[in-house]
Structure 1
Amino acid sequence: MKVIVCGAGQVGTTIARHLATEGINVTVIDSDKEQVRRVDESHDVRGVVGYASHPSTLLKAGARDADMLIAVTRSDEVNMVACQVAYSLFGVKRRIARLRHSGYLEQDKSGLYAAEHMPIDVVISPEIEIAEGIARRLRTPGAFDMVQMAHGLVVLLGIHTEDSRCAVIGERLVDIAQNSDFEGMSIVAVVRKGRCFVPDEQDRIAVGDDVYVIAREDRIDEVMAAFGHRERVGRKLIIVGAGNVGLHLAMKISDASPNVDIKIIEHDLDRAEYVAGELGNSVVVLHGDALDRALLEEAQTGLAETIVAVTNDDETNIFSSVLAKQVGCKRAITLVNKRSYEVLMPTLGINSVVSPSAVTISTVLRHVRRGAISALYTLREDFGEVVEAKITEESRLLRRPLDQLGLPPGMKIGAVIREGKVIIPRFDTQLQVGDHVVVLVTYSYLRLAEALLGASGKRNG
Structure 2
Amino acid sequence: MQIIILGAGQVGSGMARSLSREENDITVVDVDAERLRELQEKLDIRTVLGHAAHPQTLIRAGIEDAELLIALTNSDETNMIACQVAYSLFNTPTKVARVRAADYLAHPELFDREHAPIDVLISPEQLVTDHVQHLIEYPGALQVLDFADGRAQLVATRAFHDGPLVGRELKSLRDKLPEGVDARVAAIFRNDEPIIPRGDTVIEVDDIVFFLAAKRDIPVVMRELRRMGGPANRIILAGGGNIGAALAARLERNHHVKVIEADPARAGHVAEDLDTAIVLVGDCADEDLLHEEGINETDVYCALTNDDEANILSSMLAKRMGADKVITLINRPAYVDLVESDRIDVAVSPQQVTIGALLTHIRRGHMVRVHSLRRGATEAIEAVAHGAPGQSKVVGKRIEEIELPPETTIGGIIRGEEVIIAHHDVVIQNDDHVVLFVADQRQIREVEKLFSVDVVFL
Q: TM-score, normalised by structure 1?
A: 0.92
Change (3 A) 1:156 1:317: same
**393, 411, 415: which is aligned to 1:414?**
411
8 Å CA contact 1:375–1:385 kept in 2: the answer is no
Pick the aligned partner of 1:373 from 351, 364, 367: 367
For these two proteins, the number of residue pairs brought into alignment is 450
Does 1:331 find its partner at 2:325?
yes
Q: Distance in 2 between matches of 1:382 and 1:372?
A: 20
| CA deviation string 1:154-201 (max 9, x = no partner) | 11101111143x322122234435665594111112122233333333
Partner of 1:33: 33
Compute the displacement of 1:260 (Å): 1.4
Residue identity in the other structure for 1:7: G
The answer to whether structure 1 residue 167 and structure 2 residue 161 are counterparts is no
CA offsets, 1:394-432, max 9 Å, x none? 432345433343433321100012343221111222323
Match of 2:232 among 219, 224, 234: 234
- 2:380 — aligned with what? 386
Q: Structure 1 pair 67/444, CA: closer, same or farther in 2 (3 Å)? A: closer
The residue aligned with 1:129 is 127
Structure 2: give runs of 5+ residues left out of the alignment.
none
Contact 2:28 2:47 in 1 (8 A): yes
Query: What are the within-5 Å matches in structure 2 for residues 9-28 of structure 1?
Result: 9-28=9-28
Task: Give the superposed CA RMSD.
Answer: 2.1
1:230-282 residue CA offsets vs partner (Å, 9 max, x unmatched): 2222111000000000001001112xxx2411111111121111111222x41
Measure the CA separation in 2 of the matches of 1:224 and 1:180.
10
| 1:284 pairs with 2:278 | yes
1:213 maps to: 211
| Residue 306 (str. 1) matches residue 300 (str. 2) | yes
For residue 218 of structure 1, report the CA deviation from its aligned partner. Answer: 2.0
Letter in 2 for 1:271: R
Per the alignment, residue 82 of structure 2 pairs with 82
1:275 aligns with 2:275: no
Q: Equivalent residues in 2 for 1:50-89 (5 A)?
A: 50-89=50-89
What one-letter code is carried by the residue in structure 2 that aligns with 1:315?
E
> Aligned equivalents of 1:174 and 1:240: distance in 2?
42
**Unpaired stretches in structure 1, ≥5 consecutive residues:** none
Aligned ranges 1:122-271 → 2 under 5 Å:
122-164=120-162, 166-176=163-173, 183-254=181-252, 258-271=253-266
Q: What is the aligned partner in structure 1 of residue 421 from structure 2?
A: 424
Distance 2:403 2:382 in 1: 20
Corresponding residue SS for 1:89: helix
Once residues 35 and 351 of structure 2 are traced to their aligned partners in structure 1, the CA distance between those partners, rounded to angstroms, is 17
Give percent identity, aligned residues only.
37
Q: CA deviation at 1:65?
A: 1.9
Deviations 1:92-145 (A, max 9, x none): 2222111122222222x2x11222222222221111111111112211112121
Match for residue 115 of structure 2 among 111, 114, 117:
117
Segments of 4+ moved more than 6 angstroms? none
Residue 73 to residue 312, structure 1, CA distance change in 2 (3 Å): same
Alpha-carbon distance in 2 for matches of 1:335, 1:75:
21
- Aligned mates of 1:434, 1:85 — CA distance in 2: 37
* Alpha-carbon contact 1:411-1:439 (below 8 Å) kept: yes
Q: Any conservation in 2 of the 1:410–1:444 contact (CA below 8 Å)?
A: no
CA distance, structure 2, for counterparts of residue 118 and residue 399 of structure 1: 42
Structure-2 change in CA distance of 1:39 and 1:21 (3 Å): same
How much does 1:439 deviate? 0.6
CA distance in 2, matches of 1:78, 1:147: 31
Determine the C-alpha separation between the residues in 1 that align with 2:197 and 2:214.
20
Provide the C-alpha distance between the structure 1 equivalents of 2:232 and 2:247, rounded to a whole number of angstroms. Answer: 15
